[in-house]
Amino acid sequence: MKQIGRYEIIRKLGKGGMGSVFKGIVPIIDKVVAIKLLDPFETMLDILGAEKLREIFLYEAQTMAALRHPSIVQVWDYDEDEQGRPFIVMEYLCNNLGDMIGEHFLVEESSRIIQPEKVIDYGQQILVGLSYLHHNGIVHRDIKPFNILVADDDTIKICDFGMALVEGVSFSGPSMMQIGSPYYTPPEQSRDPESVDGRADLFATGVLLYRMLTGKLPGMQSFSLSMVNPLYDREWDDFFSKALSWNPDDRFDSAISMQVALTNLHLNWQAQQKNNQQETLATDQRIKIRSEPVNICGTKAASLFGVNTLFRPHIEITGKLSHGDETIHDHTTSLMWQKGGSQYPVTWKEALHYVEKLNESGFNTTSEWRLPTVNELLSLFTTLTRQGGASGFDPVKNRLWSCDSHGHHERWYVNFDMGYTGNQDMNCFNYIRAVCTI
């Protein structure tokens, strides 16, 4: 598909039960947008019929267009293509929380364990967005990781309002049709989806937060975080016991009260245990790391990068660092890194241009700067995930482009904030930390 309405299509991003999502460009001004086209699976078409699907699709567009809040994805246009299929034009964001935590189609599989400070930050933002929705009489009814987008500045955006209940009004599908997603849906929503209130969204948020902290779904193990990791005390157990109560009357009574409770939780850092089982390699011997770029995908990539199924390194290297004014030398890997890196996040092509400029200017008296490979970036995994700003690197610049490709349109990058390597569209925005071999 080359065009939808007046919008030029770059490529297809994905497909769900109701429609397909594309990355497109606004003509003349060349602004990148996300386009959701009504393109249902045949089963959805058989169950609901074409007219009902159009009604639901329009309902979602109208609901989203009426909202204006930093934590809600913005809708910019609504139209029909040449075949008469409606589509919604929205702001384009590269990251979603589902990909970032490594949740799979098989939801029961373990996901990445995320540092609690990040979980608290994202949780607070989600709850602020939900408070706005509930104030406006909207119950989302499908809060889950893949419906939480993350902007380049690390702000949260709630999306996908196809299942929303607005002032008690929503589409009415067949009685056997589930509203919401398995494991994230509270019991009262499964019984009577038309009668729920904002506490249904708070239950789903509790599931999401628990999953981020443990890599598990709360229904598959005990709520007792304090027994799993002494980093969390009994206050955390009480928080999740309340958030995940099957009786909505026993939950938090509002998104703001849940946000306040989350903000007031404490972490017992002195008793912290390492949540993952990676081995750390500390050595005075020099280690040679791949420096040539590759185009690689899937299990071959995992093998080459030395990462597990969640794309985290099997072995973490503790480097021996010495600091200059503008660079950091890792004597273990014989690599010289920029201390600061790019001032702002850039696209991958802009990253190449940035490195060219470094070499033209003879930054730090050398012209051998380049984009690092994934393996080279992962050699900083322990340094950046454990030490953060104490390492001497800029702690804000934690999503970094590599030189490695993932097919034609995507490039590998490393997200030190969430602790993994992944792939993104080359027009997404990440920082650069150039490297050269000493």
Question: Which helix (H) or strand (E) element contains residue 156?
Answer: strand 156-158
Alpha helices in 136-196 (DSSP H): 187-191
Q: Which residues contact 36 (CB under 8 A, 6 or more apart)?
A: 19, 20, 21, 87, 88, 90
Catalytic residue among 39, 99, 142, 417: 142
Q: What is the pTM of this model?
A: 0.90
Q: Please identify, among 217, 238, 271, the residue that sits at the C-terminal boundary of a domain.
A: 271
Q: Among candidates 325, 308, 405, which has minimal Cα distance to 363?
A: 325
Q: Please identify, among 40, 56, 91, the residue that sits at the C-terminal boundary of a domain.
A: 91
18 and 111 housed in the same domain: no
21 and 140 housed in the same domain: no
* Residue-level pLDDT at 269: 76
* Residue-level pLDDT at 279: 55
27 and 101 housed in the same domain: no
Tens-place pLDDT, residues 312-361: 999 888 778 899 999 999 999 999 999 989 999 999 999 999 999 999 99
214 and 301 housed in the same domain: no
Q: DSSP E strands: which ranges in 2-125?
A: 3-4, 7-15, 19-26, 31-38, 75-80, 86-91, 95-96
- Indicate the pairing of strand 279-282 with strand 315-318: parallel
Cα distance between residue 342 and residue 346, in whole Å: 8
* Residue-level pLDDT at 409: 87
For the domain that residue 60 is a member of, what is the CATH number?
3.30.200.20
Residue 234 banded pLDDT, cuts 50, 70, 90:
very high
Count of structural domains, the chain: 3
Q: Does residue 142 carry a catalytic annotation?
A: yes
* Residue-level pLDDT at 275: 44
DSSP 106: S
* Residue-level pLDDT at 249: 97
Tens-place pLDDT, residues 287-315: 889 999 999 999 999 999 999 999 999 98
For the domain that residue 406 is a member of, what is the CATH number?
3.10.100
Tens-place pLDDT, residues 86-141: 999 999 999 999 999 999 888 889 999 999 999 999 999 999 999 999 999 999 99
432 and 285 housed in the same domain: yes
Q: Which residues contact 95 (CB under 8 A, 6 or more apart)?
A: 149, 150, 151, 424, 428
298 and 244 housed in the same domain: no
Question: Which helix (H) or strand (E) element contains residue 227?
Answer: helix 225-228
Q: Among candidates 186, 149, 143, which has minimal Cα distance to 164?
A: 143
327 and 431 housed in the same domain: yes
Range of the domain at 36: 3-91
